Structure 1
Protein backbone atom coordinates (compact mmCIF):
# COMPACT_ATOMS: atom_id res chain seq x y z
CA UNK A 1 0.00 0.00 0.00
CA UNK A 2 1.04 3.66 -0.33
CA UNK A 3 3.08 5.23 2.44
CA UNK A 4 0.87 5.94 5.42
CA UNK A 5 0.54 9.59 6.39
CA UNK A 6 -1.99 11.65 8.32
CA UNK A 7 -4.15 12.27 5.25
CA UNK A 8 -4.26 8.54 4.53
CA UNK A 9 -5.25 7.84 8.14
CA UNK A 10 -8.16 10.29 7.92
CA UNK A 11 -9.26 8.94 4.55
CA UNK A 12 -9.13 5.42 5.93
CA UNK A 13 -11.12 6.45 9.00
CA UNK A 14 -13.84 8.00 6.84
CA UNK A 15 -13.97 4.87 4.68
CA UNK A 16 -14.32 2.73 7.80
CA UNK A 17 -17.11 4.96 9.15
CA UNK A 18 -18.95 4.83 5.82
CA UNK A 19 -18.96 1.05 6.03
CA UNK A 20 -19.46 0.43 9.73
CA UNK A 21 -20.54 3.65 11.48
CA UNK A 22 -18.65 5.80 13.95
CA UNK A 23 -19.56 3.63 16.95
CA UNK A 24 -17.52 0.75 15.52
CA UNK A 25 -14.40 2.85 14.96
CA UNK A 26 -11.41 1.98 17.14
CA UNK A 27 -7.72 2.54 16.59
CA UNK A 28 -7.13 -1.21 16.34
CA UNK A 29 -9.92 -1.75 13.79
CA UNK A 30 -8.77 1.24 11.75
CA UNK A 31 -5.22 -0.09 11.70
CA UNK A 32 -6.48 -3.47 10.54
CA UNK A 33 -8.50 -1.88 7.74
CA UNK A 34 -5.41 0.07 6.66
CA UNK A 35 -3.24 -3.04 6.79
CA UNK A 36 -0.83 -1.71 9.42
CA UNK A 37 0.02 -2.45 13.04
CA UNK A 38 -2.20 -0.35 15.31
CA UNK A 39 0.89 1.15 16.94
CA UNK A 40 1.76 2.72 13.59
CA UNK A 41 -1.29 4.98 13.83
CA UNK A 42 0.11 6.67 16.92
CA UNK A 43 2.80 8.29 14.78
CA UNK A 44 -0.01 10.29 13.14
CA UNK A 45 -2.77 10.60 15.78
CA UNK A 46 -1.98 10.14 19.45
CA UNK A 47 -5.29 8.50 20.48
CA UNK A 48 -8.95 7.99 19.53
CA UNK A 49 -9.94 11.48 20.73
CA UNK A 50 -7.19 13.06 18.63
CA UNK A 51 -8.45 11.07 15.64
CA UNK A 52 -12.02 12.28 16.25
CA UNK A 53 -10.82 15.88 16.56
CA UNK A 54 -8.89 15.57 13.32
CA UNK A 55 -11.95 14.13 11.55
CA UNK A 56 -14.09 16.99 12.88
CA UNK A 57 -11.62 19.56 11.59
CA UNK A 58 -11.43 17.74 8.27
CA UNK A 59 -15.23 17.96 7.96
CA UNK A 60 -15.13 21.74 8.25
CA UNK A 61 -12.44 22.28 5.62
CA UNK A 62 -13.56 25.15 3.39
CA UNK A 63 -16.88 25.72 5.17
CA UNK A 64 -15.88 29.22 6.30
CA UNK A 65 -14.14 30.22 3.05
CA UNK A 66 -15.31 33.26 1.09
CA UNK A 67 -18.26 34.11 3.29
CA UNK A 68 -17.44 37.83 3.38
CA UNK A 69 -18.16 38.51 -0.29
CA UNK A 70 -20.63 41.33 0.28
CA UNK A 71 -23.39 39.35 2.00
CA UNK A 72 -25.02 40.93 5.03
CA UNK A 73 -24.57 39.43 8.49
CA UNK A 74 -27.82 37.43 8.55
CA UNK A 75 -27.20 36.13 5.02
CA UNK A 76 -23.65 35.13 5.95
CA UNK A 77 -24.90 33.24 8.99
CA UNK A 78 -27.54 31.55 6.85
CA UNK A 79 -24.91 30.55 4.29
CA UNK A 80 -22.60 29.19 6.98
CA UNK A 81 -25.42 27.07 8.40
CA UNK A 82 -26.23 25.57 5.00
CA UNK A 83 -22.54 24.93 4.33
CA UNK A 84 -22.15 23.24 7.70
CA UNK A 85 -25.11 20.96 7.04
CA UNK A 86 -23.71 20.00 3.63
CA UNK A 87 -20.33 19.26 5.20
CA UNK A 88 -21.83 17.07 7.92
CA UNK A 89 -23.93 15.19 5.38
CA UNK A 90 -20.86 14.50 3.24
CA UNK A 91 -19.94 11.54 5.49
CA UNK A 92 -21.97 8.99 7.39
CA UNK A 93 -22.28 10.05 11.05
CA UNK A 94 -20.64 13.38 10.21
CA UNK A 95 -22.75 15.28 12.74
CA UNK A 96 -21.96 12.79 15.49
CA UNK A 97 -18.25 13.11 14.75
CA UNK A 98 -18.43 16.87 15.27
CA UNK A 99 -20.85 16.84 18.21
CA UNK A 100 -19.21 16.85 21.61
CA UNK A 101 -15.81 17.97 20.34
CA UNK A 102 -14.11 21.25 21.18
CA UNK A 103 -11.51 21.32 18.45
CA UNK A 104 -8.88 24.06 18.40
CA UNK A 105 -7.74 23.46 14.83
CA UNK A 106 -7.75 25.83 11.84
CA UNK A 107 -10.99 24.81 10.10
CA UNK A 108 -13.12 24.67 13.24
CA UNK A 109 -11.66 27.94 14.52
CA UNK A 110 -12.30 29.58 11.14
CA UNK A 111 -15.94 28.48 11.24
CA UNK A 112 -16.44 29.85 14.75
CA UNK A 113 -14.74 33.11 13.82
CA UNK A 114 -16.92 33.54 10.75
CA UNK A 115 -20.16 32.63 12.56
CA UNK A 116 -19.53 34.99 15.47
CA UNK A 117 -18.53 37.75 13.05
CA UNK A 118 -21.73 37.23 11.07
CA UNK A 119 -23.79 37.40 14.27
CA UNK A 120 -22.11 40.67 15.21
CA UNK A 121 -22.83 42.08 11.75
CA UNK A 122 -26.45 41.03 12.21
CA UNK A 123 -26.81 43.42 15.13
CA UNK A 124 -26.47 40.88 17.93
CA UNK A 125 -24.76 42.52 20.92
CA UNK A 126 -21.20 41.33 21.47
CA UNK A 127 -21.86 39.27 24.63
CA UNK A 128 -24.69 37.43 22.83
CA UNK A 129 -22.99 36.92 19.47
CA UNK A 130 -21.18 33.80 20.67
CA UNK A 131 -24.44 32.32 21.97
CA UNK A 132 -26.18 33.16 18.70
CA UNK A 133 -23.45 31.58 16.59
CA UNK A 134 -23.34 28.43 18.70
CA UNK A 135 -27.14 28.20 18.75
CA UNK A 136 -27.05 28.02 14.96
CA UNK A 137 -24.31 25.39 15.09
CA UNK A 138 -26.24 23.34 17.66
CA UNK A 139 -29.39 23.53 15.52
CA UNK A 140 -27.52 22.30 12.44
CA UNK A 141 -25.79 19.47 14.31
CA UNK A 142 -29.00 18.33 16.01
CA UNK A 143 -30.96 18.41 12.78
CA UNK A 144 -28.31 16.43 10.90
CA UNK A 145 -27.91 13.88 13.72
CA UNK A 146 -31.62 13.12 13.40
CA UNK A 147 -31.40 13.23 9.61
CA UNK A 148 -28.52 10.77 9.47
CA UNK A 149 -30.11 8.52 12.11
CA UNK A 150 -33.13 8.33 9.82
CA UNK A 151 -30.92 7.22 6.95
CA UNK A 152 -29.45 4.49 9.14
CA UNK A 153 -32.93 3.29 10.12
CA UNK A 154 -33.90 3.05 6.47
CA UNK A 155 -30.76 1.01 5.79
CA UNK A 156 -31.37 -1.31 8.74
CA UNK A 157 -35.15 -1.46 8.93
CA UNK A 158 -37.71 -1.58 6.14
CA UNK A 159 -40.65 -1.74 8.53
CA UNK A 160 -41.19 1.99 9.20
CA UNK A 161 -44.69 1.88 7.74
CA UNK A 162 -45.57 -1.19 9.77
CA UNK A 163 -44.24 0.46 12.94
CA UNK A 164 -46.37 3.53 12.30
CA UNK A 165 -49.50 1.37 12.11
CA UNK A 166 -48.99 0.44 15.77
CA UNK A 167 -49.73 4.05 16.79
CA UNK A 168 -53.27 4.74 18.00
CA UNK A 169 -53.95 7.72 15.75
CA UNK A 170 -57.42 8.27 17.20
CA UNK A 171 -55.79 8.90 20.55
CA UNK A 172 -52.93 10.93 19.04
CA UNK A 173 -54.45 12.85 16.11
CA UNK A 174 -51.76 15.55 16.19
CA UNK A 175 -49.11 12.86 15.74
CA UNK A 176 -50.99 11.50 12.75
CA UNK A 177 -51.10 14.92 11.14
CA UNK A 178 -47.49 15.56 12.12
CA UNK A 179 -46.21 12.38 10.50
CA UNK A 180 -48.02 13.28 7.29
CA UNK A 181 -46.51 16.76 7.33
CA UNK A 182 -43.03 15.37 7.86
CA UNK A 183 -43.49 12.84 5.06
CA UNK A 184 -44.79 15.52 2.71
CA UNK A 185 -42.14 18.14 3.53
CA UNK A 186 -38.69 17.59 1.99
CA UNK A 187 -35.80 17.54 4.44
CA UNK A 188 -34.29 20.66 2.87
CA UNK A 189 -37.53 22.54 3.51
CA UNK A 190 -37.74 21.29 7.09
CA UNK A 191 -34.19 22.46 7.71
CA UNK A 192 -34.75 25.86 6.09
CA UNK A 193 -37.93 26.44 8.09
CA UNK A 194 -36.30 25.87 11.47
CA UNK A 195 -33.17 27.81 10.53
CA UNK A 196 -35.18 30.79 9.29
CA UNK A 197 -37.24 30.86 12.48
CA UNK A 198 -34.09 30.68 14.58
CA UNK A 199 -32.35 33.50 12.71
CA UNK A 200 -35.48 35.66 12.70
CA UNK A 201 -35.59 35.46 16.46
CA UNK A 202 -31.84 35.92 16.88
CA UNK A 203 -30.63 38.52 14.38
CA UNK A 204 -31.65 42.12 13.99
CA UNK A 205 -31.52 43.50 10.47
Structure 2
Protein backbone atom coordinates (compact mmCIF):
# COMPACT_ATOMS: atom_id res chain seq x y z
CA UNK A 1 0.00 0.00 0.00
CA UNK A 2 2.81 2.40 0.87
CA UNK A 3 4.49 1.70 -2.45
CA UNK A 4 1.26 2.42 -4.31
CA UNK A 5 0.72 5.69 -2.44
CA UNK A 6 4.32 6.78 -3.05
CA UNK A 7 3.93 6.11 -6.77
CA UNK A 8 1.65 9.15 -7.09
CA UNK A 9 2.43 12.72 -6.12
CA UNK A 10 0.34 13.43 -3.01
CA UNK A 11 -0.97 9.86 -3.18
CA UNK A 12 -1.47 9.62 0.58
CA UNK A 13 -3.20 13.01 0.72
CA UNK A 14 -5.59 12.00 -2.06
CA UNK A 15 -6.33 8.65 -0.40
CA UNK A 16 -6.65 9.95 3.17
CA UNK A 17 -10.22 10.35 4.33
CA UNK A 18 -11.71 8.50 1.40
CA UNK A 19 -13.97 5.54 1.84
CA UNK A 20 -13.53 3.89 -1.50
CA UNK A 21 -15.84 1.09 -2.50
CA UNK A 22 -13.90 0.36 -5.67
CA UNK A 23 -12.85 -3.19 -6.48
CA UNK A 24 -9.12 -2.61 -5.84
CA UNK A 25 -9.64 -1.11 -2.39
CA UNK A 26 -12.20 -3.73 -1.43
CA UNK A 27 -9.97 -6.50 -2.78
CA UNK A 28 -7.05 -5.25 -0.70
CA UNK A 29 -9.24 -5.04 2.41
CA UNK A 30 -10.72 -8.49 1.79
CA UNK A 31 -7.27 -10.02 1.44
CA UNK A 32 -5.92 -8.30 4.56
CA UNK A 33 -8.91 -9.24 6.71
CA UNK A 34 -8.87 -12.76 5.25
CA UNK A 35 -5.22 -13.29 6.18
CA UNK A 36 -5.95 -12.11 9.70
CA UNK A 37 -9.03 -14.33 9.98
CA UNK A 38 -7.04 -17.32 8.74
CA UNK A 39 -4.43 -16.54 11.41
CA UNK A 40 -7.17 -16.96 14.01
CA UNK A 41 -8.32 -13.39 14.65
CA UNK A 42 -12.02 -12.80 15.19
CA UNK A 43 -14.02 -10.53 12.88
CA UNK A 44 -13.70 -7.48 15.14
CA UNK A 45 -9.98 -7.81 15.79
CA UNK A 46 -9.28 -8.49 12.12
CA UNK A 47 -11.26 -5.41 11.04
CA UNK A 48 -9.64 -3.18 13.66
CA UNK A 49 -6.21 -4.49 12.73
CA UNK A 50 -6.86 -3.73 9.06
CA UNK A 51 -7.91 -0.20 9.97
CA UNK A 52 -4.82 0.25 12.15
CA UNK A 53 -2.46 -0.92 9.41
CA UNK A 54 -4.13 1.30 6.81
CA UNK A 55 -4.17 4.35 9.10
CA UNK A 56 -0.52 3.87 10.06
CA UNK A 57 0.49 3.42 6.42
CA UNK A 58 -1.46 6.43 5.17
CA UNK A 59 -0.30 8.66 8.03
CA UNK A 60 3.33 7.67 7.63
CA UNK A 61 3.22 8.09 3.86
CA UNK A 62 1.46 11.44 4.18
CA UNK A 63 4.32 12.71 6.38
CA UNK A 64 6.90 11.16 4.06
CA UNK A 65 5.46 12.78 0.94
CA UNK A 66 5.13 16.15 2.68
CA UNK A 67 8.77 16.02 3.80
CA UNK A 68 9.97 15.20 0.30
CA UNK A 69 8.17 18.05 -1.46
CA UNK A 70 10.50 20.37 -3.39
CA UNK A 71 11.86 23.10 -1.13
CA UNK A 72 11.34 21.07 2.02
CA UNK A 73 14.45 19.96 3.90
CA UNK A 74 13.00 16.72 5.17
CA UNK A 75 11.18 15.62 8.30
CA UNK A 76 12.94 18.18 10.49
CA UNK A 77 15.48 20.84 9.71
CA UNK A 78 18.56 19.39 11.47
CA UNK A 79 20.13 22.79 12.03
CA UNK A 80 16.97 24.40 13.41
CA UNK A 81 16.14 21.43 15.61
CA UNK A 82 19.75 21.19 16.80
CA UNK A 83 19.67 24.85 17.83
CA UNK A 84 16.42 24.35 19.75
CA UNK A 85 17.79 21.39 21.69
CA UNK A 86 20.21 21.73 24.53
CA UNK A 87 21.72 18.60 25.97
CA UNK A 88 21.09 19.81 29.52
CA UNK A 89 17.37 20.37 28.98
CA UNK A 90 16.62 17.72 26.34
CA UNK A 91 19.24 14.97 26.75
CA UNK A 92 17.10 12.21 25.24
CA UNK A 93 16.04 14.24 22.22
CA UNK A 94 19.61 15.42 21.69
CA UNK A 95 20.86 11.82 21.69
CA UNK A 96 18.15 10.78 19.24
CA UNK A 97 18.53 13.81 16.93
CA UNK A 98 19.92 11.74 14.01
CA UNK A 99 16.79 9.59 14.00
CA UNK A 100 14.42 12.56 14.13
CA UNK A 101 16.17 14.22 11.21
CA UNK A 102 16.73 11.08 9.15
CA UNK A 103 15.16 10.79 5.72
CA UNK A 104 15.34 6.99 5.81
CA UNK A 105 11.57 6.69 5.67
CA UNK A 106 11.73 2.99 4.85
CA UNK A 107 13.53 2.31 8.13
CA UNK A 108 10.98 4.41 10.04
CA UNK A 109 8.07 2.62 8.34
CA UNK A 110 9.49 -0.86 8.84
CA UNK A 111 10.14 -0.17 12.52
CA UNK A 112 6.55 1.02 13.07
CA UNK A 113 5.09 -1.87 11.14
CA UNK A 114 7.26 -4.23 13.18
CA UNK A 115 5.81 -2.78 16.38
CA UNK A 116 2.31 -3.41 15.07
CA UNK A 117 3.18 -7.02 14.22
CA UNK A 118 4.71 -7.59 17.66
CA UNK A 119 1.58 -6.18 19.28
CA UNK A 120 -0.62 -8.44 17.19
CA UNK A 121 1.45 -11.45 18.19
CA UNK A 122 1.02 -10.52 21.85
CA UNK A 123 -2.73 -10.01 21.36
CA UNK A 124 -3.30 -13.28 19.58
CA UNK A 125 -1.42 -16.30 20.78
CA UNK A 126 -2.82 -19.40 19.11
CA UNK A 127 -3.37 -22.35 21.38
CA UNK A 128 -0.80 -25.11 20.96
CA UNK A 129 -1.90 -28.00 18.77
CA UNK A 130 -2.40 -31.20 20.55
TM-score for the superposition, normalised by structure 2:
0.80
Question: What are the Cα deviations for residues 15-38 of structure 1, in whole angstroms up to 9, with x where unaligned?
Answer: xxxxxxxxxxxxxxxxxxxxxxxx
The reply to whether residue 202 of structure 1 matches residue 117 of structure 2 is no
Cα gap change, 1:185/1:165 in structure 2, threshold over 3 Å: closer, same or farther?
A: closer
Q: 8 Å contact 1:116–1:129 — kept in the other structure?
A: yes
Partner Cα separation in structure 2 for residue 156 and residue 124 of structure 1: 45
Q: Compare relative contact order (CA 8 Å, sep 6+) and give the higher one, 1 or 2.
A: 2
The reply to whether residue 150 of structure 1 matches residue 90 of structure 2 is no
Q: Gapped runs of 5+ residues in structure 1?
A: 1-83
For residue 177 of structure 1, report the CA deviation from its aligned partner. 2.0
RMSD: 2.1
The reply to whether residue 188 of structure 1 matches residue 106 of structure 2 is yes
Partner Cα separation in structure 1 for residue 14 and residue 2 of structure 2: 13
For residue 136 of structure 1, report the CA deviation from its aligned partner. 0.6
Question: What are the Cα deviations for residues 98-134 of structure 1, in whole angstroms up to 9, with x where unaligned?
Answer: 1100011111111111111111122211221100111
TM-score for the superposition, normalised by structure 1:
0.53
Cα gap change, 1:181/1:161 in structure 2, threshold over 3 Å: closer, same or farther?
A: closer
Partner Cα separation in structure 2 for residue 182 and residue 166 of structure 1: 14
The aligned runs of 1:164-175 (5 Å cut-off) are: 164-170=81-87, 171-175=89-93
Larger Rg: 1
Q: Gapped runs of 5+ residues in structure 2?
A: none
Question: What are the Cα deviations for residues 131-184 of structure 1, in whole angstroms up to 9, with x where unaligned?
Answer: 0111111111111111111112xx224592332233132211222222213446
Say which of 102, 115, 134 aligns to 2:32.
Answer: 115
Partner Cα separation in structure 1 for residue 20 and residue 95 of structure 2: 41
For residue 87 of structure 1, report the CA deviation from its aligned partner. 0.4
